[in-house]
Amino acid sequence: MLKVAVVMGSGSDAAKMEPAMEILERFGVPFEVRVISAHRTPDEAREYARAARERGVGVMIAGAGLAAHLAGAIAANTTLPVIGVPLQAGPLAGVDALCSTVMMPTGYPVATVAIGGSANAALLAIQILSLGQPDLEERVRNYRAELARKAAEADRELQSAYAEHTQDES
């Protein structure tokens, strides 16, 4: 199975990217994780992205805050799918990172998730890898069914707690 590369621009981003690693572990998808800065270590970012396919990477996730050029720097140096995760930081609370991540020139796309959306980035990476892998697709379907069960249970609990205020629909 191809693996996912999870890259972040700073060690301080690790906690914000942890949900991605947890999802990948839960689904049994192999991954590698690195701290590489588009600004402080641009040569490392370029070489890392260029060699990703040779290392068995199928999708790259890049999380960064503030100027957030990491996903774009990665995308400029690979033809693999790149998913950008804008991270909340600084006075603009991640809006600057969102704009930096999503506004890519034609030819260098970065699929961008919500600010702090590292879990969804991992799920999107898994869905991409599931193309042609029915077992992985089935795990995604099972995960979504579990989410639906939890939502239905929360609804039942809330209705039960406030039964006297719940309207009878008959």
pLDDT score, position 164: 87
Claim to verify: residue 119 and residue 140 sit in the same structural domain: no
Distance CA 30, CA 7 (A): 14
pLDDT score, position 168: 65
pLDDT score, position 170: 59
Distance CA 72, CA 74 (A): 5
Claim to verify: residue 12 and residue 62 sit in the same structural domain: yes
pLDDT score, position 165: 85
Residue 170 lies in a domain: no
Q: How many residues does the chain have?
A: 170
In the chain, which residues have pLDDT < 70? 168-170
Claim to verify: residue 50 and residue 17 sit in the same structural domain: yes
Nearest Cα neighbor of 9 from 101, 93, 77, 91 is 101
Claim to verify: residue 72 and residue 154 sit in the same structural domain: no
Supply the range of the domain harboring residue 95. Answer: 3-129
Residue 145 lies in a domain: yes
User: What are 22's strand-pairing partners?
Assistant: none
Claim to verify: residue 75 and residue 144 sit in the same structural domain: no
